[in-house]
Chains A and B, each alone.
Chain A
Amino acid sequence: MGRIKEKFRELQEKNKAALICYITAGDPDIEFTEQIINCMEASGVDMVEIGIPFSDPMADGPVIQAASERALKNSTSVSDVLSLVSRIRSSSDIPVILFGYYNPFFSYGTERFAHDAREAGADGVLVVDLPPEEAGELGVHIEREGLDRIFLLAPTSTEERIEMVLENASGFIYMVSVTGVTGARPDMNYDLEDLVGRIKSRSDVPVGIGFGVSSARQATAIASFSDAVIVGSALIRIIEDGGTQRQEVLENISSFTKEISAACLR
C-alpha cells in the first residue's frame, strides 16, 4: 500500500481529516524549505505538497506567484526538489506530493522524472495544467513507477469530467473550493458538500479540499464532509511576512498548523 493510502487509512481510524500543507520549494531557499517541512510534520501536518516553482504559474494567485518568483531567484529546479525529497525521506515517512506546472517536468523528461521521483521517495504527482486529456505522456510513467496521480476537480466540473478524472485518479482528488486562483479567502462555498457527496458516491478515492483555506473554522467545516483539508497560501504568507526572522516563521507555522490540525478532528 502506498504511503498516501496508508495515511488516509490511519487517519480514518482516528476520525480525523488529513491536513495537507503546500509550500513552494526554494522559498526563500531550499534549506529553509526542509526545516519548514520538518517543523510541519512535528506540528501535526499529515502530508506535504512540495511546489516546484514555475515562471508562469497561471492558476495561482499573487501569494504563490510571489513565492515562485522568490524561489526562482535562486534557480530552484526539479533536481533540487528531488534531492530535497530524498533528504526528507531519509528521516521521515510523511507522504510527499510533488506539485507544479508541466513545463519543468516536460523539460526534465517525463520518464526520467517519474523514475527519479520514485527513487527520491515521492508518493504522488499533481500537475496543475495537465487535465486528463493531456495527462497521458507523463501519467504512463508515473503509473509504471507506482506513484499516485492526483487530479483537480472544480465546482464548474461537469458530471462527464468528474467521471473522466475518477477514471485516472489515485491517491486523492484535489477539489478546488471556488472558481478562481489560489489564495486565502474569508468565505468559502459550502455547496461543496453536495459536490463531494457526488464524487464519493462513485468512487473510494479520498477527496481533499483546497484553494482558500485559512482558518480553523473553515478547516472544521471542510473536515466534516471531506477526507482532507489542504492549506497553501496561508502558510506562504507566514513565510513572506516573516522575512529573515526564520525562527519566528517556524514558530508561527508550528502554531498555525497545530491549530488547523486540531480542527481536522471530527
Chain B
Amino acid sequence: MGGNNRKYSCPDVGGHFGEFGGRYVSETLMPALIELQRAYREASEDKTFYEEIEYYLKQYVGRPTPLYFARAMTESLGGAKIYLKREDLAHTGAHKINNTISQAILCERMGKDRIIAETGAGQHGVATATVAALMNKECVIYMGEEDTKRQELNVFRMKLLGAEVRPVVSGTKTLKDAMNEAMRDWITNVRNTFYIIGSVAGPHPYPMMVRDFQSVIGHEAMEQILAVEGKLPDTLVACVGGGSNAMGLFFPFIEESEVRKIGVEAAGHGLESDLHSATITAGSVGVLHGSKTYLLQDENGQVKGAHSVAAGLDYPGVGPEHSYFQDTEKVEYVSVTDKEAISAFSFLSEVEGIIPALETSHAIAHVRKIAPSMSPEQTIVICLSGRGDKDIHTASSFM
C-alpha cells in the first residue's frame, strides 16, 4: 500500500508535523514549555503515571465508554452499519475529561498548585474545573463573554465546582480570545501555574500530549469493533473544531490506510457566507496560538472571527497535526452547515434516544450523507463526542 511504509513518527523534537506545529510563543513562555515537555517525557517513562491515569479513567470517568451499534439509525439510513463511540457517557458528558484528568495528574507531579484553562462551549472548562476540584487546585477558567451568555449552564457548573470564571471582553469575545487571555495569565504566573489546553492546539508539547491523552478513544474503539465485527471499520467520522475528539479517534488508526477517516468542520451559514469555522476546508496556512496551522485570516494576516452554531467548533484555527493530515491526505476534511447540524441533532434524538452535542451533530450530519451509498457489510464509527443537554436552549431557537 503506497511506496511509503515508514512508521508515523511526528512530531519531531521541536513539535513539528511537517511544516506545521512548532512553538511560536514569546520567550517568556519558552522555559515553561520546555519544562512541561521534559516533565511529560519523564512521566511517559514512568509506569505509575499511566497506572494512575488508567485508574482515574476507569473509576472516575467511567471508561471504557461503550461502542454502541446504532441499529435504528442504520436502518433509517439504509446503508453501512453505524457504531457510536459513546464519549457522551464519560463523566461530565464529553470526551474532554480524558485529557483534563491526565494533564491534572501531570500537574500534580510537577508540583503546581494552580490550574488555568480556556473554554468555548464550556465543556473543557467544566472538565477542567472538575479535575481541579478532585485534585484540590485553585482553578481559573477564561471564557469569551459571548460564550458565557450562550452557555450559562456550564458557567454555573464551573462555579459550582469551585472555579473562578473570568469573562474575556477583548477581541471577538469568544474562544480564540479566551485562549489569548489564558496564555497571558500563564506568561504572568508561570512559576506556580499549569495551563490545561483543551484541544490538540497550541504550542508544542500540547498538540502531541493532548493527542496521546485522547487516543484512548481510538484504542478502545479499535478493540471493541474487532470484538464485534472481526475487522477494522471502513470509515471513522468525527467533528473538528480544534480537533481533539477526532484526533483521539483517528490517531490509533493512522497507519491503517484502508480505514477512511473523515473530519467534519463547521460550515456555519455556508462556506461562501464568511460566517463559518471551516478552517481546513476554507482557510490558509498561518501562525496562531503558538503553532503553524490552517487559519481563517484576511489578506493582511489578521485572524478572522469564526462562526458556528456549536460554540465548541467556533475557532479560527485547528490542531496542527490535522493540517498535516490534510496535506498528506491521511484524513479527509469536509464541512456541514448549521442547518444540517441542527437537523442531525433532532434526527439522532428521535431515532436513537440520544441527544448529541451540537458539535457532535456535525459528524452525524455527514454520516447521513455517506451511509446510504455504502453497503450493509461496511461499518462506520462516529465519535459521539458529547451530549447535547447544554445545547437545548440554542437548538430550540432554531426549531
Residues of A at the B interface (CB closer than 8 Å) are 54-62, 65, 69, 72, 75, 77-78, 101-108, 128-131, 133-134, 151-154, 156-158, 161, 165, 176, 179-181
Contact = CB atoms under 8 A, between A and B. Distances in A.
Contact of A176 (B23, B28, B170, B302): B28
Contacts, number: 121
Contacts of B43: none
Contacts of B28: 59, 152, 154, 156, 176, 179-180
Contacts of B191: 156, 179
A77 B297 CA distance: 13
Contacts of A134: 14, 22-24
Contacts of A58: 25-26, 180, 183-184, 289-290
A59 B303 contact: no
Q: How large is the interface on B (under 10, 10 to 19, 20 to 34, 35 or more residues)?
A: 35 or more
Given A56-B171, A58-B184, A179-B190, A131 B27 contact: yes
25 contacts: A55-B171, A56-B177, A56-B288, A56-B303, A57-B180, A58-B25, A59-B183, A65-B171, A72-B302, A78-B301, A101-B287, A104-B301, A106-B287, A106-B301, A129-B25, A131-B24, A133-B30, A134-B23, A154-B28, A154-B31, A157-B27, A161-B30, A165-B27, A179-B187, A179-B189
Contact of B301 (A61, A62, A103, A130): A103
A61 B303 CA distance: 18
B78 interface: no
Contact of A131 (B23, B176, B183, B300): B23
A108 B27 contact: no
Contact of B26 (A61, A129, A133, A161): A129
Is chain B's interface secondary structure helix, strand, loop, or mixed overall?
A: mixed
A179 B171 contact: no
B70 interface: no
Nearest to A102: B287
Given A152-B26, A179-B191, A69 B171 contact: yes
A161 B171 contact: no
B275 interface: no
Interface in B176-202: 176-177, 180, 183-184, 187-191
A142 to B, nearest CB: 16
Interface in B194-234: none
Interface of B: 14, 22-28, 30-32, 34, 170-171, 176-177, 180, 183-184, 187-191, 286-290, 295, 297, 299-304
Contacts of B299: 107
B302 A161 contact: no
Nearest to A104: B301
Contact of B190 (A72, A103, A106, A156): A156
Given A157-B30, A180-B28, 15 more contacts: A56-B180, A56-B303, A57-B180, A58-B25, A58-B289, A60-B184, A103-B295, A108-B301, A131-B23, A134-B23, A156-B28, A179-B28, A179-B191, A181-B187, A181-B188
Nearest to B284: A107
B264 to A, nearest CB: 25
A179 B297 CA distance: 30
Contacts of A156: 28, 31-32, 190-191
Nearest to A62: B170
A78 B176 CA distance: 22
A130 B289 CA distance: 12
Most buried by A among B23, B187, B288: B187
A159 to B, nearest CB: 11
B24 A129 contact: yes
A62 B299 CA distance: 25
B204 to A, nearest CB: 9
B303 to A, nearest CB: 4
Contacts of B32: 156
Given A55-B303, A72-B302, A176 B22 contact: no
A129 B30 contact: no
Contact of A59 (B22, B26, B176): B26
A194 B32 CA distance: 21
B21 to A, nearest CB: 10
A133 B22 contact: yes
B217 to A, nearest CB: 30
Most buried by B among A65, A75, A101, A133: A133
